[in-house]
Structure 1
Amino acid sequence: MNVQRFLVLFIILIGQCTQAQFLLNKDSIITSIEERIKLPIIPDYVVNVSQFGAKGNGIKNCKPAFDRAMKACEKVNGGTIIVPKGVYRLEGPIHFVSNTRLHLQAGAKLVFGSNPKDYPLVLTSWEGTNLYNYSPMIYGVNVSNVAITGEGIIDGEGNGLWATWKPIQSKGQQLSREMNHNKVAIKDRVFGEGHYLRPQLIQFVNSKNILIQDVKIEDAPFWCVHILNSSGVVLKGLKYDAHNKNNDGIDIENSNDILIEDIDFNNGDDNVAIKAGRDHDGRANMNHPSKNIIIRNCRFKGLHALVIGSEMSGGVKNVFAYDCIASGYLKRGIYFKTNSNRGGYIKNILVDNIRFGDVEDAIYMTSNYHGEGNGLFPSKISNITLSNISFDNVSNTAIVIEGYPKFKVKNVTLDHITFKSAKNGMTLSNTENIKFNEIVIGEKQGVPSSVK
């Protein structure tokens, strides 16, 4: 055996051992993630927004009242803001302070206005590029111990003016990417008026110990819940009815120690999308990958169920998605996407025990997303295990795995995957060490018939 071949075999063996060790330790890894996540500690101080002049009549602008309530909590180092039953119109955003909970009682609804001038520019990220843009409707930066809870509704009113921005956003979108690629200082990436980049509905940046639980989310202008450069996050019991363009349910970006649990998704794009920055911005932040993420006991419904990418240049690792079901028609069930200019990696991913209905493409892993890139920064996809997953009818392809010639998709295990039917079976290209065990498309065949 020559030295080159020995080295190749040695690298393959190391990859297999790494994947096996990850699977062997999965229970302890999940337990350690749960132990590190600390729920927010909120002081006993309680105020009601009505004390500050808020009226739930759907007419009065209640933003000043919410601002005063938040300021009152800040003065005593935190507390709970109660929002009683009623419709509260806010002409502008809610900006969180630390140690504070916003609690929406049953029958309470926040409806945000759509005048861009009411939303100041803040530090944010747009499709993986750091910049200053219109404030999300609910926003927190550099905060800790914060919570949004209750049985109420948060409505972003995204189907009006904001919706008209989608067809005219391309110039602003391309400018943001050029600034990213040219390494323009973030302080000089000032967008807002004339650039038509829609704001997120809920976003926390550079924050920790975050809880969002039980509320219903409707009609976001852009992404619904965006967790950016943050840690120690619980998203639980949420319900969605958000069908505007790019209404991702949950976007996790450059964040770690995340629990996503018991969510009823029904939104117009990705249900869960795990990201880690676009191109240069992401690669410059590779010491903060998205990692240690648990997704369990969720009900998927939307465009795509579980997505990693395409903005993942800072790396994504240690993701556990299990014990979920999907309903309705999905374009793609499990979708990992990157291109040859992203860089970064997707590794140590376990998806187990998920039941899908009808899909267009069932399992799709690609290093050639939209055919973009010239090969300067290929991404690495490796150590992926998909097990005990079923699909009903697949109108296009059951399994697609495509790597990049210089960086093949490696060490993927598909174990006990079933498809009732599929127009196309499988496409593999630029892959290495793909393992299959009990893959069934159509009826499972037993003993072959005898020759007549």
Structure 2
Amino acid sequence: MLKSNMFLYQGVIPLIKWYRKLELFVLTLFPGLVEKYVKHHFARSGVEFDGKRGWDIEVKDKSLYPRIVNHGPLGLGEGCMDGQWESDDIPPLAYHLFEGDAVAVANWFHPWNRFLNYMACSYFNLQSDDLFESFMDDSMSYTCGYWKNATTLGEAQFNKMELIASKLNLKPGMRVLDMGCGWGGLAFHLAKYYSVSVLGITISIDQVVAARRRCAGMAGVEVRLMDYRHLDEAGNFDRVIYVGMLEHELTATSPPSSEPWLITYIFPNGYVPYHAEITRGIEHLFVLEDWQNFGHDYIKTLQAWWTNFEGNWPTIKDKYGERWPWKGTWYAQCWETTPINQTIDRDALFQMAEDNIPVVDRVFGEGHYLRPQFIQPYRSKNVLIQGITITNSPMWIVHPVLCDNVVVRDVNITSLGPNSDGVDPESCKDVWIYNVTFNNGDDDIAIKSGRNADGRRVNVSSENIVIQDCSMEEGHGGVTLGSCISGGVKNVFAERIYLSSDMLDTAIRVKNNALRGGLLEGFYLRDITVGRVGRQVIEVDFFYEEGPNAGFVPVIKDFVIQNLTLLEFAPYSCYMRGYEGHPNASFVGLRLENATFNGVLNDPHYVVENVDDVVIENVVVNGAVWEWEGKIGQ
């Protein structure tokens, strides 16, 4: 099969190259029209050619325009490498292009171009070790570091390996299979510090040589050159690890990657799945016992890699040439992109609040990247938002603050960007959310009442909120309380809600921590129908972000769910975590009545820790009555 695919690949690639050359020739016959077309679509994303803003593009060679249409992001990136354009501030340029409605949407992802880009995808080919040595740490770890309590790349990678080891619960003498072992850093670490034997396998000859050299003299470590699919002793291992390899494993069910810059220069034949695709893929095969996201640490990892690469570039530039894509400004700064600038400003803004800096002095202007809310009534009364469609908001979408008598009804919200909460009443009273459809990149509805010191200073709770007849697709949480809820919340009622998507993490969500605090009192839901979710149906997590290590313990009381149905799939029914041994009971409990959960993946189907009281009445999970070991409703 592999040989036949290779023959097909070798036959199709010349045809695609011929077609691309013909297309480029035709485009050069109409330079004015092509230039107008490209400028039009880039302008829709807030990017101008020869404009005055830092992220605008200064054109050095007008042959760039047909090159962009012909090869999309690959043409844009290679145009930068070849000096056809420059920009003073590439991170926000990249953000505007790939979050907006530029040619990236209008042309590059047209079905025909998706097909051509997929067919032109090259087979994966690792570069020489000297390239990777130029930017990685001594362990040669080519995955995200774990930067908690770390100040250097080496410390972050050591922390990551320790984190992996802690989750494996290793004991001396165990046998571990490291699939895609790379240069052997993790195999060496586990054998040295945990006295286990490790078999590492990789398809790279250079990696085998380097890993064997690293582990020479280390008892119990073996490194083989082989495809994991040819391993015939899989049943002889106590633990199997698979770190940083999944993105290289396209399967028959994976959608093709159609971003030519990525598949040409970064991860040829690669695909990075969304977390819900992973849970769906392991359905009925494995039990998901732990899930931890430290994706933001990739920003620091990439920064460290880039710093190392710049410092070592003079030693390898003669081999790779000045046109090497990693040396180009476009790729280098696209590593950072706008979120890193926003993260810095976001942290600074939060610190200003903790330091009691007056609000009027918290000013972020040119050169900062804090994204604004889309619709934000402030200290208003009798607010009506009705009969509109909202798409592609920069951040929170409908965000009334300190308002009374708010109605949001008959609204369609679709926005899959970062922090794109749908409707977020904050410190508001008497709110009605009715017949709203949500498809969001963050929480669909999130009730708020101020964050940390600011929330306690203003000290206005959100009260009397009614949510009816809404439908929700993608999002982090469907109906959510928190996490910016330091002023408290009282009396939230939700009924007749339909939620379903593999890209929806949680249907009913409460998120908080001991830095936010606040009293959450009276959360009542009934007639809730859930099709599919990516993680759990019900979540109460007091370990969100900063977790328990502060002095403002959150409290939740009177949490009642009635008449809930899960139709198809969820990894867990409930995930609820309070604080262990705290003198003030923070999580008084949940009352769940008349509920049916179908297609729950894990057994046990719930995680419940340090919750004072769970009352279960007439609840069925996968056809069996839920016999809760704690208090059972009568």
TM over 0.5: yes
Measured on the aligned residues, the alpha-carbon RMSD in Å equals 2.8
Map residues 138-149 of structure 1 onto 2, 5 A cutoff. Answer: none
Deviations 1:325-371 (A, max 9, x none): 12322211111000011121211010110101111211000111135
Distance 1:161 1:182 in 2: 39
Q: Do 1:171 and 1:195's aligned partners in 2 also have CA atoms closer than 8 Å?
A: no
Q: 2:547 aligns with which of 372, 375, 378?
A: 372
Q: 1:306 aligns with which of 479, 491, 504?
A: 479
Distance 2:470 2:577 in 1: 28
Map residues 132-143 of structure 1 onto 2, 5 A cutoff. Answer: none
Distance 2:361 2:404 in 1: 27
**Structure 1 pair 317–112 and aligned structure 2 pair: CA distance change class (3 A):** farther
Which residue number in structure 2 is paired with residue 105 of structure 1? none
Question: Which of 1 and 2 has higher RCO (CA within 8 Å, sep 6+)?
Answer: 1
Q: Do 1:363 and 1:398's aligned partners in 2 also have CA atoms closer than 8 Å?
A: yes
Distance 1:375 1:417 in 2: 35
Which residue number in structure 2 is paired with residue 267 of structure 1? 440
Which residue number in structure 2 is paired with residue 391 of structure 1? 566
Instruction: Give unpaired runs (5+ residues) of structure 1.
Output: 1-90, 92-110, 119-155, 447-452
Instruction: Give unpaired runs (5+ residues) of structure 2.
Output: 1-42, 54-95, 103-333, 627-634
Distance 2:595 2:466 in 1: 21
Q: Do 1:408 and 1:430's aligned partners in 2 also have CA atoms closer than 8 Å?
A: no
Deviations 1:34-90 (A, max 9, x none): xxxxxxxxxxxxxxxxxxxxxxxxxxxxxxxxxxxxxxxxxxxxxxxxxxxxxxxxx
1:174 matches 2:347: yes
Which residue number in structure 1 is paired with residue 521 of structure 2? 347
**Structure 1 pair 409–373 and aligned structure 2 pair: CA distance change class (3 A):** closer
Which residue number in structure 1 is paired with residue 532 of structure 2? 358
Distance 1:283 1:371 in 2: 17
Q: Which stretch has the larger CA shift, 394-403 or 224-233?
A: 394-403
Which residue number in structure 2 is paired with residue 433 of structure 1? 613
Q: Which amino acid aligns with 1:346?
A: L
Distance 1:190 1:276 in 2: 22
Distance 1:434 1:375 in 2: 26
CA shift, 1:433, in A, is 2.4
Structure of larger gyration radius:
2
Distance 1:361 1:219 in 2: 27
**Structure 1 pair 157–261 and aligned structure 2 pair: CA distance change class (3 A):** farther
Q: Do 1:362 and 1:394's aligned partners in 2 also have CA atoms closer than 8 Å?
A: no
Which residue number in structure 1 is paired with residue 294 of structure 2? none
Deviations 1:87-112 (A, max 9, x none): xxxx9xxxxxxxxxxxxxxxxxxx99
Q: Which amino acid aligns with 1:381?
A: I
Which residue number in structure 1 is paired with residue 382 of structure 2? 209
TM-score, scaled to structure 2: 0.45
CA shift, 1:192, in A, is 2.7
Q: Which amino acid aligns with 2:467?
A: I
Q: 1:276 aligns with which of 442, 445, 449?
A: 449
CA shift, 1:113, in A, is 6.0
Q: Which amino acid aligns with 1:335?
A: R
Distance 1:275 1:445 in 2: 35
Distance 2:565 2:383 in 1: 33
Distance 2:544 2:576 in 1: 12
The alignment covers a number of residue pairs equal to 299
Which residue number in structure 2 is paired with residue 324 of structure 1? 497
Distance 1:437 1:373 in 2: 31
Deviations 1:196-227 (A, max 9, x none): 11111111111111101011001111111111
Three-state SS of the structure 1 residue aligned to 2:613 is strand
Larger strand proportion of the pair = 1
Distance 1:445 1:390 in 2: 14
Distance 1:200 1:410 in 2: 34
Three-state SS of the structure 2 residue aligned to 1:372 is coil
Distance 1:445 1:251 in 2: 36
Deviations 1:117-137 (A, max 9, x none): 99xxxxxxxxxxxxxxxxxxx
Deviations 1:257-291 (A, max 9, x none): 100001111222211111111101111222x2011
Deviations 1:226-247 (A, max 9, x none): 1111111100000122121111
CA shift, 1:194, in A, is 2.5
Map residues 30-429 of structure 1 onto 2, 5 A cutoff. Answer: 159-160=99-100, 165-286=338-459, 288-303=460-475, 304-329=477-502, 330-359=504-533, 360-370=535-545, 372-405=547-580, 406=582, 407-424=585-602, 425-429=605-609
Distance 2:569 2:365 in 1: 42
TM-score, scaled to structure 1: 0.62
Which residue number in structure 2 is paired with residue 122 of structure 1? none
Q: Which amino acid aligns with 1:332?
A: T
Q: Do 1:159 and 1:221's aligned partners in 2 also have CA atoms closer than 8 Å?
A: no
Three-state SS of the structure 1 residue aligned to 2:599 is strand
Distance 2:101 2:359 in 1: 27
Q: Do 2:380 and 2:403's aligned partners in 1 also have CA atoms closer than 8 Å?
A: yes
Q: Which amino acid aligns with 1:351?
A: L
Q: Do 1:385 and 1:414's aligned partners in 2 also have CA atoms closer than 8 Å?
A: yes
Which residue number in structure 2 is paired with residue 67 of structure 1? none
Q: Do 2:592 and 2:617's aligned partners in 1 also have CA atoms closer than 8 Å?
A: yes
